[in-house]
Chains A and B, each alone.
Chain A
Amino acid sequence: MPVQLAMASTEREINIYKNIRCLVCQGQSLNDSNSDFAVDLKRVIKKKIINKESDKEIYKYLTERYGDWILFNPPLKINTLLLWALPFLFVLMGGFLIYQKYLFLDKKHQN
């Protein structure tokens, strides 16, 4: 039976669509797009959900074909390590600088 996109999308489907980048309209999620390829991709995902495939299997299918680029939430890998680690590094660096400044002021105050 052909999968009809007109069938209401479940919460699980919408969550997946929101994490998938539209192939033709940059910056939009699949959920926000009605382009031809977005409609096709939604149908493919819906079919996979009906076939009881897990979210992990669906993401694997998509990244095998389109790379991590297709995900809005890139996985933690060697090449995305900087992306994930940088905010924490900045917080640590900031904290260290504030701490140093505090020590300096404290010493000055003591003197």
Chain B
Amino acid sequence: MKKQFKISLLVFVTVIFFVIFYYSLKANNKNNPNIMLNKPLPAIELTSLINTNLKQELPLINRDKYYLINIWSSWCVPCREEHPILMKLKDKIKIYGINYKDKKTNATAFLNKLGNPFYFTGSDKDGSVSIEIGAYGIPETYVVNSQGLIIFKHVGPLNKKIYLRISEIIK
């Protein structure tokens, strides 16, 4: 009887650990974009890509109900993929672009060719602005509310599903 109990306990503990490890392995450990969710956007100053005398400080408090921040670059292929979605979003929400480690000529040629969805584009020549706001890579998109809180974050190119989700949030 005692032996049976011991064996059952051993089997039970083994199964519990197996289940925990199985689900831990399956969990997305790649990165956790939710860390910055519902937290204030760290203060950043963007220097205009076009005119270096123009600056834009973020977050903007009590200005717009929502605004969007998008990290992009002309050399980034997924940024090209998501560009039509940004063009669709620009009529719904102000978009602040962070141009990551790009050449001014390439970035402006990209915008001239595909259209400029950005209300303001700041240059992030050394990538420090992107790190400041907790970016994992490019492209990356944030929705910030009037209180300066990041209410949505997406790592990777925007797609139709994310477009609908953002549209729903800012409705």
Chain A residues with CB under 8 Å of chain B are 2, 23-24, 26, 36-37, 39-41, 43-44, 47, 64-67, 69
Instruction: Check if B87 is an interface residue, CB within 8 A of chain A.
Output: no
With a CB–CB cut-off of 8 A, which chain B residues contact A36?
Answer: 101, 127
Are the CB atoms of A40 and B137 closer together than 8 Å? no
Interface of B is mostly: loop
Within 8 A of A (CB), among B94-121: 101
Nearest-neighbour CB distance to chain A for B137, whole angstroms, equals: 6
Is chain A's binding surface mostly helix, strand, loop or mixed? helix
Q: How far is the CA of A64 from the CA of B41 in the complex (A)?
A: 11
Interface centre among A24, A36, A41, A47, by most B CB within 10 Å? A36
Is B62's beta carbon under 8 Å from chain A? no
Contact status B31-A65, CB under 8 Å:
no
Question: In whole angstroms, how far apart are the Cα atoms of A40 and B31 in the complex?
Answer: 18
Whole-angstrom distance from the CB of B138 to the nearest CB of chain A?
9
Task: List the A residue with the shortest CB-CB distance to B32.
Answer: A67
Residue in A37, A43, A44, A66 whose beta carbon sits within 8 Å of that of B35 in the complex:
A66
User: What are 30 residue pairs bridging A and B, where the CB atoms are less than 8 Å apart in the complex?
Assistant: A2-B126, A23-B136, A23-B137, A24-B137, A36-B127, A37-B136, A39-B127, A40-B126, A40-B131, A43-B126, A43-B127, A43-B128, A44-B131, A64-B134, A65-B35, A65-B36, A65-B42, A65-B132, A65-B133, A65-B134, A66-B31, A66-B32, A66-B35, A66-B134, A66-B136, A67-B32, A67-B35, A69-B31, A69-B32, A69-B35
